[in-house]
Amino acid sequence: MIRMTESFELILGNEVMARSGYHPVWFGHASMFAAGDTRTCECGSVNCIETFLSKKGLAITYCDAQQKNWKAMSASETDKLTESILPAITVGLVEGDAEKRRFWDSVLSRYMLHLKYSLRNVGCAYLPSEIIIKGEIISSLPQLKEKIRAFFEQIPQQGRHDHYLHWLAGIVCTIE
């Protein structure tokens, strides 16, 4: 099991890990390339996976899309936004008008781009034979779950053109 963040888990299974009994490995603070985004982490490093794929990471992606200066927010403001982000997206995607739904969809698409790069950066190193994706973000956001499912479905076609993702073709991926 590779725990990437508190609210997002990517479980990569392979023989090496099976022999070790799937001991959890914490990958939240592995740095990743992030398509031009730069986020300083509380640990002092830059672009740690948890600054993108956790609930807080999603909240920051929302701020970027709104051009809100999240760096100027206090810790309690950030915590409040982090706790409100999943309900806000759910309501926005279900009850919002067309413009709102497009906006929230674009926030999720940016999250997907970050997930893709994290897979390229971390998953590529492990060459797993199976992947399980789960966590609060996935279980609370059916629309994101659908995007991830669609992403894995198109890998056999797209993976041929993406050297860093072609290892995903043929892998059994479960999204819980």
Number of Cβ within 10 Å of residue 23's Cβ equals: 7
Nearest one of 30, 50, 14, 32 to 126, comparing CA atoms: 14
Residue with Cβ nearer Zn ion (41 or 112): 41
Task: Give 27's contacts (C-beta < 8 A, 6+ positions apart).
Answer: 2, 3, 4, 10, 49, 122
- Partnered with residue 134 across adjacent β-strands are 9
Q: Which of 16, 24, 35, 45 binds Zn ion (CB under 5 A)?
A: 45
- Taking CA atoms, 82 is separated from 33, 61, 72, 98, 175, in Å, by 23, 11, 15, 24, 23
When asked if residue 48 is in the footprint of Zn ion (CB under 5 A), the reply is yes
Residues 1-30 that bind Zn ion (CB under 5 A): 29
CB-wise, 55 or 89, nearer to Zn ion?
55
Q: Are 25 and 1 in contact (CB under 8 A)?
A: yes
User: Which residues have CB under 8 Å from 160's CB, separation 6+?
Assistant: 166, 169
Residue whose CB is less far from Zn ion, 52 or 104 = 52
State which residue, 29 or 147, has the beta carbon closest to Zn ion.
29
Q: Which CB sits closer to Zn ion, 9 or 108?
A: 9
Task: By CB under 5 A, name the one of 18, 43, 94, 125 that touches Zn ion.
Answer: 43
CB of 31 to Zn ion, least distance (A): 8
Binding Zn ion (rule: CB under 5 A), the pick from 1, 22, 25, 41 is 41
Position 46 contacts Zn ion (CB under 5 A): no
* Contacts to Zn ion by CB under 5 A: 29, 41, 43, 45, 48
